[in-house]
């Protein structure tokens, strides 16, 4: 089936691609024919797959019929996970902040260990569709179900903002249009795609997207390491010498006549600040590194769209093994991303290049390394695919929270399936509009914007799942107390962040901005929410016997 | 009721079945390894680290008092220029620092020239700046034309074409003017022609000869310390597979460990389940 779709598209695109190879010249500004054709080809492929495997009913829409294999699910987890933040944002953070950026690499992978050993199998055994479903049932409260749904929507929106930013940057680069228009066009395309395909299409697409993402990310890296005379057979190790060369500097005499695409020698002055831990010139401290890594890890275990992926495997064992596969597939990209930052640092070392947009450094590095324009185009299209795969998962998770958890479970339990689907799609449109409007403000780097969603999840949903699964003593009152605590800390941190972007100085601004920065406030929010949950649960009426019985007999059997 | 309460109670730390006990022990071990591997290593990095200056900071510190007081020798001025260029060649510098460093560099460079050279160098710097300004102006005009919706594509093309020609000619002049400065100043600064700093030099020079204020002198000192002192230790100075060890550990090894931990957890869980006849 897939061959029937892919082959005609490639054959149709081939003549145009051959012509386009000579066209793409500048780092920014102009319309790039080759990359545009590659992008359109890939998007067409996604939409066709989406149509072929589209959702037929609500069961399909929410959980893909629970018919996905472990490796397939692992690929879907990886594709769902590898967003614009992984593809573009991580290298950007390492390019800008050096070693501090590695906190994102560790945080966004280490969280899967927590997720696996503490939750994955148990979540599948609990057998609910969405995070809010779990919260509502486990804490026997329709109110908490509604709050869980609202938090899931907020997390999805917050997470999507960074993705739309990434889509906007890549559309801007490919189409040569202003950022605002690029966000609007890219946002519309991803919305149309999600509406057409639903989650079954999304899951099938995610497997294809994973392959496109990883291939498009790795090919330029092999070329760069080969071209600049590093160990290219395994670029994930080969770039170690690039890091060391950045530290010690590369004299002109040792450049071996290698130049970047703008004619600057592959040379630089010594820059130990790139790799040394929490270098003073980056303005980042060890506390921030630890707080960030911790927040991202607990956030990983609390993200609704990640948790939701465990509902689509047949058994708890499959849920566990899909994490192993998913993490392995994710790590292939995460081992590679720092290499782009290291090459980017040397290739853009000449001051004549000027200030580059950090979030596009992956693409700029390939361009500066004079990688074939078509391959750079594939790389950019891979960036868009990464954002697409995540956004569609997020929009499905957000719209599920609205239509399934809020509308059907709380407002109108008698709603027929057709109406549920309609509400899910309306919610998708509404979320996409909100996300587009926020993304147009260009508030921070992609990785940082996404980190806000992680901290929010870490402060709210993670404690509810952790205690809900592992301690039957955690009750409704405790959950409310934990949510209030985590929610309050989130509110303070996000308020100070927004005030900062608007240059409004609030009381204790520097203190709060440092200790509760928007990207890592879960370092304190998550433990405090857990503590509040435990204390209040101990002081109030115990969890009903039916819930405890269910936990023993179904979840921990 | 009380009997039921005890019977149906789940607590991670108080397992009631063999399966739960084995799982708890395994989880505790895995979390411990996870915590020590991630945060323990960062703590070790922090404890062992020492603020380590780049060698060029010593050069700066030795020459700065004389340069700052305006009584520097040729060697001191050359050393100062070399040190300043070492910072200006870094990718990220705060604009306010760059501005002051450009001025102290330019003053040192011009102080190294005799009267005739000085006039010539200043004229060349001005020429170079004028070329850059002209390219920027043409580019700004193109950007302006591109944003005018009232113009058709053909009209835009007609207007942009001559400007693009100006820019192309501008880049040729740019290369000539830049090379002129490099050739002229490299021997004056005592730089080797293969030193990457020679490529940075023309871009940072200004023709201003105004002395630095006390506040600006403090900024110079602060900037040099900020960009030339780094946290280093045996963990950062040891090499593994070409990487600094700490970088390899965090960027590569930790991820391998995470995958390994997950794999091991699944294998062990499957074994425990098989042994205790637990079916998922």
What is this model's ipTM? 0.89
Q: Domain holding A246: CATH number?
A: 1.20.1730.10
A265 or A69: which carries more pLDDT confidence? A265
The CA-based dihedral angle spanning residues A555, B4, B6, B9, taken in that order and rounded to the nearest 10 degrees: 20
Query: Which structural domain, as residue segments, surrounds residue B1?
Result: 1-32
The mean of the pLDDT values for chain A is: 85
Residue A197 lies in a domain: yes
- pLDDT tens digits along A297-335: 999 988 887 887 776 667 778 888 888 999 999 999 999
Got the DSSP string for A108-148? HHHHHHHHIIIIIHHHHHHT-SSHHHHHHHHTT-HHHHHHH
B179 and B99 within one domain: yes
B24 and B138 within one domain: no
Chosen from A105, A273, A465 to mutate, greatest number of chain B CBs within 10 A: A273
Report yes or no: B181 and B201 within 8 Å, Cβ to Cβ: yes
Report yes or no: A150 and A341 within 8 Å, Cβ to Cβ: no
Residue A328 lies in a domain: yes
Kindly provide the b/e burial profile for residues A157-186, where b requires at least 16 CB atoms within 10 angstroms of the residue's own CB: bbbbbbbbbbbbbbbbbbbbeebeebbbbb
> Nearest CB to B255: which of A121, A281, A331?
A331
Whole-angstrom distance, CA of residue A128 vs CA of residue A555: 12
The residue of chain A nearest to residue B198, with distances taken between CA atoms, is A252
Q: Enumerate the H helices of A176-256 as residue ranges.
A: 179-227, 235-238, 240-248
The CA-based dihedral angle spanning residues B63, B68, B69, B70, taken in that order and rounded to the nearest 10 degrees: 80
Q: Indicate yes or no: CB of B49 within 8 angstroms of CB of A277.
A: yes
Residue A491 lies in a domain: no
Q: Indicate yes or no: CB of A236 within 8 angstroms of CB of B252.
A: yes
Residue B9 lies in a domain: yes
Q: Token pair of A238, please?
A: 């080969």
Residue B44 lies in a domain: no
B102 and B182 within one domain: yes
Residue B186 lies in a domain: yes
Chosen from A78, A283, A284, A351 to mutate, greatest number of chain B CBs within 10 A: A351
Q: Check whether A66 has a pLDDT greater than 60.
A: no
Mean pLDDT, range A136-147, rounded to an integer = 92
Q: Indicate yes or no: CB of A240 within 8 angstroms of CB of B12.
A: no
A329 burial type by CB count under 10 A (0-12 exposed, 13-18 middle, 19+ buried):
buried
CA distance B165 to chain A (A): 16
Residue B96 lies in a domain: yes
Residue B49 lies in a domain: no
B82 and B3 within one domain: no
Give the angle A447-A449-A453 at the CA atoms, nearest 5°: 105
Q: Indicate yes or no: CB of B45 within 8 angstroms of CB of A243.
A: no
Q: Check whether A270 has a pLDDT greater than 90.
A: yes
Answer positive or negative: Cα dihedral of A26, A31, A35, A39: positive
pLDDT for the residue A106:
96
Residue A526 lies in a domain: no
B212 and B110 within one domain: yes
B124 and B189 within one domain: yes
- pLDDT tens digits along A434-464: 999 999 988 888 888 899 999 999 999 999 9
- pLDDT tens digits along A221-265: 999 999 988 999 999 999 999 999 999 998 887 777 788 877 788
Whole-angstrom distance, CA of residue A237 vs CA of residue A214: 17
Whole-angstrom distance, CA of residue A295 vs CA of residue B121: 55
> Nearest CB to A352: which of B203, B236, B247?
B203
CA distance A121 to chain B (A): 9
Q: Token pair of A526, please?
A: 């998550």
Q: Token pair of A173, please?
A: 């680069």
Return the closest-CA partner of residue A319 out of A532, A535, A528, A117: A117
Q: Check whether A71 has a pLDDT greater than 90.
A: no
Residue A48 lies in a domain: yes
pLDDT for the residue A24:
36
B65 and B26 within one domain: no
Residue at which a domain ends, from B214, B229, B244: B229
Return the closest-CA partner of residue A334 out of A287, A308, A296: A296
> Nearest CB to B255: which of A267, A316, A334?
A334
Whole-angstrom distance, CA of residue A327 vs CA of residue A322: 8
B3 and B115 within one domain: no
Stretches in chain B below the pLDDT threshold 70: 1-7, 149
Q: Indicate yes or no: CB of A112 within 8 angstroms of CB of B258.
A: yes
- pLDDT tens digits along A5-32: 444 444 444 434 433 333 334 566 678 8
Eight-class DSSP state of A554:
I
Whole-angstrom distance, CA of residue A554 vs CA of residue B24: 18
* H-helix or E-strand spanning residue A291: helix A286-300
Return the closest-CA partner of residue A276 out of A104, A106, A100: A100
Mean pLDDT, range A512-535, rounded to an integer = 96
B20 and B66 within one domain: no
For residue A104, the chain B residues in CB contact (below 8 A) are none
Whole-angstrom distance, CA of residue B143 vs CA of residue B141: 5
What are the backbone dihedrals phi and psi of residue B100, each rounded to the nearest 5 degrees, phi first?
A: -70, -40
Residue A481 lies in a domain: no
> Nearest CB to A271: which of B20, B85, B90?
B90
Those of residues 279-318 in A touching chain B at CB distance below 8 A are: 279-281, 286, 289-290, 293-294, 315-317
- Look at strands B239-240 and B243-244 and give their pairing: antiparallel
Got the DSSP string for A490-521? HHHHHHHHHHHHTT---TTHHHHHHHT-TTTT
Residue A41: C-alpha distances to residues A91, A315, A389, B98 (Å): 26, 36, 16, 45
What's CA B213's distance to the chain center, in Å?
A: 28
Query: What total of structural domains would you count in chain A?
Result: 1
Query: What total of structural domains would you count in chain B?
Result: 2
Those of residues 33-72 in B touching chain A at CB distance below 8 A are: 34, 38-39, 42, 45-46, 49, 54, 56
What are the backbone dihedrals phi and psi of residue A244, each rounded to the nearest 5 degrees, phi first?
A: -65, -40
Q: Token pair of B113, please?
A: 């020239």
pLDDT for the residue B83:
95
Report yes or no: A131 and A63 within 8 Å, Cβ to Cβ: no
Mean pLDDT, range A339-365, rounded to an integer = 89
Residue B18 lies in a domain: yes
Residue A492 CB neighbour total at 10 angstroms: 15
Chosen from B18, B26, B57, B92 to mutate, greatest number of chain A CBs within 10 A: B92
Q: Indicate yes or no: CB of B262 within 8 angstroms of CB of A323.
A: yes
For residue A237, the chain B residues in CB contact (below 8 A) are 241-242, 252
Query: Which structural domain, as residue segments, surrounds residue A154?
Result: 28-441
Q: Indicate yes or no: CB of A334 within 8 angstroms of CB of B261.
A: no
Q: What is the phi-psi region of residue A54: left when phi exceeds 0, alpha when psi lies from -120 to 50, beta otherwise?
A: beta
Residue B136 lies in a domain: yes
B88 and B212 within one domain: yes
Whole-angstrom distance, CA of residue B41 vs CA of residue B27: 21
Report yes or no: A65 and A430 within 8 Å, Cβ to Cβ: no
Residue A84 lies in a domain: yes
pLDDT for the residue A20:
38
Q: Which residues contact B201 (CB under 8 A, 6 or more apart)?
A: B85, B109, B181, B182, B185, B186, B189, B191
Q: Angle formed by the axes of helices B115-147 and B153-189, to 10°? A: 160
The pLDDT > 90 percentage for chain A reads 48
The residue of chain B nearest to residue A236, with distances taken between CA atoms, is B252
Residue B207 CB neighbour total at 10 angstroms: 14
Q: Indicate yes or no: CB of A106 within 8 angstroms of CB of B38.
A: yes
- The size of the A-B interface in CB pairs under 8 A is 207
Residue B10 lies in a domain: yes
Return the closest-CA partner of residue A167 out of A368, A354, A394, A498: A394
């Amino acid at each position: 089936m897939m061959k029937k779709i892919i082959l005609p598209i490639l054959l149709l695109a081939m003549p145009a691609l051959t012509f386009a190879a000579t066209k793409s010249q500048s780092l920014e500004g102009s319309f790039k024919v080759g990359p545009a054709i590659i992008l359109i080809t890939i998007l067409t492929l996604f939409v066709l797959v989406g149509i072929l495997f589209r959702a037929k009913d609500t069961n399909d829409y929410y959980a893909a019929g629970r018919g996905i294999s472990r490796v397939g699910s692992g690929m879907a987890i990886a594709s769902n996970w590898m967003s614009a933040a992984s593809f573009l944002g991580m290298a950007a953070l390492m390019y800008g902040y050096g070693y501090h950026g590695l906190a994102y690499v560790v945080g966004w992978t280490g969280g899967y260990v927590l997720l696996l050993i503490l939750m994955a199998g148990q979540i599948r055994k609990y057998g609910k569709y969405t995070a809010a479903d779990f919260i509502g049932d486990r804490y026997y409260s329709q109110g908490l179900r509604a709050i869980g749904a609202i938090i899931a929507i907020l997390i999805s929106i917050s997470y999507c903002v960074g993705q739309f930013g990434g889509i906007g940057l890549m559309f801007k680069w490919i189409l040569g249009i202003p950022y605002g228009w690029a966000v609007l066009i890219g946002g519309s395309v991803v919305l149309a795609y999600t509406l057409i395909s639903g989650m079954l299409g999304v899951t099938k697409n995610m497997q294809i997207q994973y392959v496109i993402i990883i291939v498009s990310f790795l090919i330029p890296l092999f070329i760069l390491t080969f071209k600049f005379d590093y160990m290219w057979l395994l670029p994930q190790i080969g770039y170690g010498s690039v890091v060391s060369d950045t530290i010690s500097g590369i004299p002109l005499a040792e450049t071996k006549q290698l130049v970047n695409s703008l004619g600057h020698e592959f040379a630089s002055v010594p820059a130990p600040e790139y790799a040394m831990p929490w270098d003073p010139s980056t303005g980042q401290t060890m506390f921030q590194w630890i707080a960030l890594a911790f927040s991202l890890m607990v956030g990983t275990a609390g993200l609704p769209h990640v948790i939701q992926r465990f509902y689509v495997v047949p058994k708890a064992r499959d849920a566990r093994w899909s994490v192993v596969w998913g993490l392995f597939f994710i790590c292939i990209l995460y081992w590679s991303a720092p290499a782009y930052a290291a090459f980017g640092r040397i290739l853009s070392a000449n001051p004549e290049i000027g200030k580059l947009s950090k979030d596009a450094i992956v693409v700029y590095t390939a361009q500066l390394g004079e990688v074939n324009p078509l391959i750079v185009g594939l790389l950019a299209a891979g960036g868009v695919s990464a954002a697409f795969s995540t956004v569609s998962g997020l929009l499905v998770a957000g719209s599920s929270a609205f239509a399934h958890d809020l509308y059907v479970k709380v407002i109108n339990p008698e709603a027929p399936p057709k109406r549920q689907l309609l509400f899910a799609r309306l919610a998708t449109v509404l979320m996409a509009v909100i996300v587009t409007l926020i993304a147009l403000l260009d508030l921070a780097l992609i990785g940082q914007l996404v980190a806000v969603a992680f901290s929010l999840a870490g402060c709210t949903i993670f404690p509810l799942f952790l205690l809900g699964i592992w301690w039957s003593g955690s009750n409704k009152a405790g959950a409310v107390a934990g949510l209030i605590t985590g929610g309050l800390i989130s509110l303070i941190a996000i308020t100070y962040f927004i005030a900062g972007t608007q240059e409004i100085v609030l009381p204790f601004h520097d203190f709060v901005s440092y200790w509760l920065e928007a990207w890592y406030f879960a370092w304190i929010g998550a433990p405090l929410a857990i503590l509040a949950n435990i204390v209040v649960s101990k002081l109030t009426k115990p969890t009903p016997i039916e819930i405890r019985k269910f936990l023993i007999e179904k979840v921990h059997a | 009721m009380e009997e039921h309460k005890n019977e149906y109670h789940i607590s991670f730390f108080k397992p009631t079945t063999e399966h739960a006990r084995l799982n708890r022990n395994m989880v505790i071990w895995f979390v411990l390894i996870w915590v020590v591997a991630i945060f323990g290593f960062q703590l070790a990095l922090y404890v062992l680290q020492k603020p380590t200056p780049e060698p060029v900071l010593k050069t700066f510190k030795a020459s700065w008092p004389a340069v700052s007081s305006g009584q520097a020798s040729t060697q001191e001025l050359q050393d100062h220029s070399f040190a300043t260029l070492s910072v200006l060649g870094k990718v990220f510098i705060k604009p306010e620092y760059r501005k002051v460093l450009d001025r102290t560099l330019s003053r040192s460079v011009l102080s190294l020239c005799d009267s005739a050279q000085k006039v010539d160098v200043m004229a060349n710097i001005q020429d170079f700046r004028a070329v850059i300004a002209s390219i920027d102006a043409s580019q700004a005009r193109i950007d302006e034309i591109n944003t005018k919706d009232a113009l058709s594509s053909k009209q835009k093309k007609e207007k942009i074409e001559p400007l693009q020609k100006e820019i192309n000619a501008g880049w040729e002049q740019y290369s000539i003017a830049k090379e002129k400065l490099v050739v002229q100043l490299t021997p004056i600064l005592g730089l080797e022609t293969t030193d990457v700093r020679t490529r940075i030099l023309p871009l940072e020079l200004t023709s201003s000869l105004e002395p630095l204020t006390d506040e600006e002198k403090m900024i110079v000192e602060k900037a040099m310390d900020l960009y030339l002192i780094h946290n280093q230790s045996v963990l950062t100075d040891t090499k593994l597979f070409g990487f600094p060890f700490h970088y390899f550990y965090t960027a590569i090894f930790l991820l391998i460990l995470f995958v390994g931990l997950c794999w091991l957890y699944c294998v062990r869980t499957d074994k425990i389940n098989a042994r205790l006849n637990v079916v998922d």
